Structure 1
């Protein structure tokens, strides 16, 4: 089983990122999108809220339980955006959509994965810097999502652990480099050159 493509969604525009993810899903690849709460939407916050409130008012008159279903969590909102870009009612589209996983924050099992970005979907590349944007996490909180503070605390904890690990790793590398330099001085240049021939 091939490893999934892990995408860090921070600083991406939702529509452009969703289009790129949908294209990879239709190619049969597994995609994991993390930090969905950091996705950005075009427009000021108040106008984005009004637009989403109109969506919340859409129901089925005969039986509202039949849908449409209104998502409030960032990972669900983004997953719905991706779903709208694939033929999810066909077998091919349903199989493709099943290969998508979205998360707020970065789960522990994906911390060690290499996280990618989509260059053309980044806010700093795709739109003008003066244009207002709204983070998906803020919109979700306004619409009733209750776990924004929990995700923020877990992210701070993850970043602290990551910084601690990096410092320990850098200290070990510096210690090893100092030990190698000390041994090389003791052996002399000729012996070091002779030993390097075996490393090649």
Structure 2
């Protein structure tokens, strides 16, 4: 697997295999690549890890889902329940909100559940500093959380 240093912007997307990566660290590395002008595709979003106790993560996501509009709940904020859209929101939070560079960078991001056939020929990179350091039993996958909060495959 190649590292992220000195990646030059091309028409070919940088494909990131997100298996066993910590969500926040992966998001910040992808945001840096996007701001440098690269097109980035993240595959295997359902295998991204969240650190912390499982019950605490589930509790916070359920509290987050309760946030809606006071006037009309249907018009309230729409909360992502699929792993790929959850990851898109995390990366969006790491990009500049009001600058054109952040808006254009967000348009260059693609996230996928699993690995699509059209990206199978590309070299997949992983970020060494974003990989989990402990046993996988100490983490919870985004796919597990998504199933608990309402994602149906």
TM (norm. structure 2) is 0.88
Larger Rg: 1
Q: What are the ranges of 5 or more consecutive residues in structure 1 without an aligned counterpart?
A: 148-200
Determine if the alignment matches structure 1 residue 77 to structure 2 residue 86: yes
Q: Which residue of 1 aligns with 2:150?
A: 144
Q: Which residue of 1 aligns with 2:113?
A: 104
Counterpart among 57, 65, 71 of residue 56 in structure 1: 65
- Secondary structure of the residue that 1:123 maps to in structure 2? coil
Higher helix proportion: 1
Q: Structure 1 67/27 Cα, relative in aligned 2: closer, same or farther at 3 Å?
A: farther
Kindly report structure 1 stretches of 4+ aligned residues shifted beyond 6 Å.
none
Determine if the alignment matches structure 1 residue 120 to structure 2 residue 120: no
Q: Note the alpha carbon deviations across 1:117-164, whole angstroms, 9 max, x for none.
A: 01000003xxx44872100001001111110xxxxxxxxxxxxxxxxx
1:7-18 correspondence to structure 2 within 5 Å = 7-18=16-27
- Secondary structure of the residue that 1:6 maps to in structure 2? strand
Asked whether the equivalents of residues 42 and 134 of structure 1 are also in contact (C-alpha less than 8 Å), the reply is: yes
TM (norm. structure 1) is 0.68
Q: What are the ranges of 5 or more consecutive residues in structure 2 without an aligned counterpart?
A: 1-9
- Secondary structure of the residue that 1:33 maps to in structure 2? strand
1:1-200 correspondence to structure 2 within 5 Å = 2-124=11-133, 128-129=134-135, 132-147=138-153
* Structure 2: distance between partners of 1:77 and 1:136: 8
- Secondary structure of the residue that 1:49 maps to in structure 2? helix
Q: Determine which structure has greater relative contact order: mean sequence separation of CA pairs < 8 Å that are 6+ residues apart, divided by chain length.
A: 2
Deviation at 1:69, TM superposition (A): 1.4
